[in-house]
A and B are shown apart, each in its own frame.
Chain A
Amino acid sequence: MSLRRTSSVRSRPTDWPGYGLAAAVVVLCTALSWVIFPYFELSDIIMVYLLGVVGVSAWTGRAPSLLASVLTVLAFDFFFVPPYFSFAVLDSQYIVTFSVMLIVALIISGLTVRIRGQAESASERERRTAALYALSRELAGTRGMKDLLDVSVRHLVDVFGGRIAVLLPDAGGRLEPRAASIAPFQLGPDDVAASQWAYERRQIAGRQMRFVPLLASRGIVGVLGMRPDEGHALDPPEQQRLFETFSNQIALAIERGLLAEEAQTAQVGIETERLRNVLLSSVSHDLRTPLASITGSASSLLESGDSLDARTRHELLQAIHEEADRLNRLVQDLLEMTRLESGAVTVRKEWHPVEELVGAALGRLGKRIGPRPVLTRIPADLPLVPLDGVLIEQVLINLIDNALKYTPETSPIEIAASADDGSVTVEVADRGPGLASGDERRVFDKLYRGQAEAGRGSGLGLAICRGIVEAHGGRIWAENRSQGGVTFRFTLPVKETPPSIPPTDG
C-alpha cells in the first residue's frame, strides 16, 4: 500500500448526501412558503429560501450550497412568480429580484462554508496541539528509556493508528526494535534494509512500512517505523506535518533519555571508583589490625615461648585464634560484597521454611551467642518462602551478628516472622542503644559503621544484607523500637502459590 492513496479525512468525491440535503431543504422551504404564501409578501418568502440556503451551507460543502442557491431561485420562480407553475417571467422586474436573490444566496453560502472551514481547521489545530501537548507532557514526566519509548508508541498509535515501532541503534550501529505497538515485533528483510537506509542517510525510506529518521540536536538517535492501517494513509499535509512534529518531539525525548543514561553511567563510574578507594583504604586498615595482632602474638611465642608461663602462652594462642577468625569473617564479607556488586551472585530460589534458616543461622553463630537469651517467634503455619537458602541464611547471620556486636552481652535478641498477603516479613530485634536518627537508612550503606566505639565489623554486613534481599526482590529496613533497641526487618515476596506437599501419611 502506498501512501499516495485516498484519504478519508475529508471526502473529495461527489457528495451525494450533501446534494440530497440541498434538494430536501429546497423542497421543505417551498412547502413552507406555499403555506404562508396567501398571507405574506413575496419578500418574506425570499427570506425563507435564504434561510434554507444558510442551513444547507452550514451543514454541507461548497457544491451542495451552490446547488441549493440555484434550486432556490428556480423554485421561487416556478411556484411563486406569475405565471405560476412555469419558469416564464412576465414582469422584467423579477429578473432583478432573481439575480439579487442568487447573488445573496451565493454570498451567504460562500461565507458560511468558509467560516465553517475555518472553525474546522481551528478545531483540527486545537486537536493537534492537544495531542502534541499530551505527548510532550507525558514524555517530560517519563524517566527511563523503555518507558519513554512505550509512551511514544502509545501516543503515535492513539493519534495516527496503524503499526508503530521505534528502532534504536545498538553499540555496533545496527538498528533494533526497542518498542512497538505489536509485540513481538518482526521486521521483514526489506524493512530491515529500509530502516538501516533511513538511519544511515537520514532520509525517509520504506514502502510497506515507512521509516522516519529521528533527528535530535546531536544527530540521529534512531528510526521511527510506521505502517498505516488500510485506508488510513498520512495523506493530508497537515497529518504528515503532525507526524513529523511528533517524531521531532520523540527524537528529543530519546536524546534526553540517552544523555541521562550516559550521565548516570558516568556518575556510577565515579561513585564506584570512589567507593573502591574508600573500601581499599578501609580494608587495608581492617586487615592490618588482626594481622598485626596475629604476627605479634605468634612471634612472642616463637621468641620467648619458653620463658612465658602457661596462662600467657594460652592467652597469646587465644588471641591468634580469635584474630584469625575475625580476619576470616572480614575476607568473607569482602568476597561476598564483591560477588554481589559484580553480579556474580545468582539467586537460586527454592521453597524454604523460615524456621529452618533461623535455626541454621543460630547454629552457625553458635559460641558467639553464648548465654544470651534468644527468643524466636515463628508461627508453625508460616508458609514456605521461595528464596536462596544459603544467601538468606547469610542475611540472618549478619543481622544477628550485628545485634551481638552492638548490644551488651546479656541483652536479649528477638527473631520473629510473619506472613502477609504476597510477602513474608522476618525481623531481628535487639534491646541495644538503637540507631541515631538518620542512621536508619545509612546503616545499609557500604562501610558505614554506627558508633565509633564498635568498629569491630567490616562495615559491610548490612550492605550485604541489602544486596541479597534486593536480589530477591525484597526490601530491608531498620526502625528504632519505642522501648529502646532497634528492629531490622526484611520482606521477601511470595508471588507463586507454595507447592503442595503430600499428606503426612503419604
Chain B
Amino acid sequence: MVDNQGPLVVLIEDEPQIRRFLRAALGAQGYRLVESTTGEDGLAQAATRQPDLVIVDLGLPDLDGVEVIRKLREWATMPIIVLSARGQERDKITALDAGADDYVSKPFSVGELLARMRVALRHSASVREPDEPTFTVGDLKVDLAQRKVFVSGKEVHLTPIEYKLLTMLVRYAGKVLTHRQLLKEVWGPAYADQAHYLRVYMAQLRRKLEADPARPRYLLTEPGVGYRLASE
C-alpha cells in the first residue's frame, strides 16, 4: 500500500510504550499515524489533520478521555475507538454513550484492535453508501429488503420486537452497542433503563438463531456494557 493512501489515524495516548508498539503494528498494516500525548494536542491534531479514525486512551494526563470524545463529537463524525482498562465498565459505557464507536480493554492484542478499527471504518464508509440489502455472517442471513431471517437456509420467524432488535444489531454489525442505545432505539427513550427487557429478548433471539444459545456465535455479550453482533 502506498504510504499516503492508507487511512489516517490520530492516536491520543500518553504511554510511550503503547505508542511504540501501535506505531509499529499500525504502520505495518498501512495506516498513517499521527501521535498525541495529551488530550488538548489530540483535539488540535484531529481538527487540523481531519483523520479517518481517532484512538483515545481514557486515562490521559490533562483531559478526561470522555471529555475528549465529547469535544470531538461537537464537530466530527469520524469513528473513535477507546483504549481502557478492564473492570472499568462504567467508564466504557460513558465513553460509548458520549459518542465513542468501540473500545478495547488493556491489555489487548493488536489483532483485536485492528478488527475493531476495520469495523469502525466500514461503518463510517457505509454512512455514505446505501445499506446492503442482505447481511450474512456464518449460517445467519438477514434479508433487510424482504424482512426475512434465515439460519442455515431455513427461514426463522421473529416477532416484531425481535426483528427490530436484530436489524439494529445488523446495522452496526461488529460494533458494540450499549444497553441504553439498544433500548432507546428498539423500545423508545422511556425504556432506556429497563436492561432486563433487552436481556430477555436477547435470550429469545439466541434461542431462535444460535445452535447453542449458551455458547453464542453471533449475538455476543459484552458484560456490563452491551451487545455486539459478530460480523466475521
Contact = CB atoms under 8 A, between A and B. Distances in A.
Contact of B107 (A324, A335, A353, A393): A324
Contacts of A390: 87, 89, 223-224
Contacts of B161: 504-506
Given A360-B223, A389-B223, A505 B196 contact: no
Contact of A356 (B162, B197, B202): B202
Contacts of B202: 356
B87 A356 contact: no
Contact of B215 (A336, A362, A389, A506): A362
Interface string B184-206: 00000000001111011011101
A452 interface: no
A328 B107 contact: yes
B221 A356 contact: yes
Contacts of A501: 196-197, 200
Nearest to B210: A359
A358 interface: yes
Q: How large is the interface on A (under 10, 10 to 19, 20 to 34, 35 or more residues)?
A: 20 to 34
Interface stretch (A24-32, A41-49, A254-262, A373-381): A373-381
B160 A505 contact: yes
A350 B195 CA distance: 8
Interface residues of B, number: 29
Contacts of B61: none
Contact of B159 (A355, A393, A505): A505
B1 interface: no
B200 A384 contact: yes
A61 to B, nearest CB: 74
B49 interface: no
B28 interface: no
B214 interface: yes
B103 to A, nearest CB: 15
B212 interface: yes
A499 interface: yes
A35 B214 CA distance: 102
Nearest to B162: A504
B7 to A, nearest CB: 27
Nearest to B215: A362
A144 interface: no
B197 A359 contact: no
Contacts of B200: 353, 384, 501
Interface string A343-382: 0000000111101111110111000000000101010100
Interface of B: 86-87, 89, 107, 159-162, 194-197, 199-200, 202-204, 206-207, 212-216, 220-224
11 contacts: A335-B87, A336-B87, A351-B195, A353-B199, A353-B200, A355-B214, A356-B202, A356-B221, A359-B206, A374-B215, A389-B224
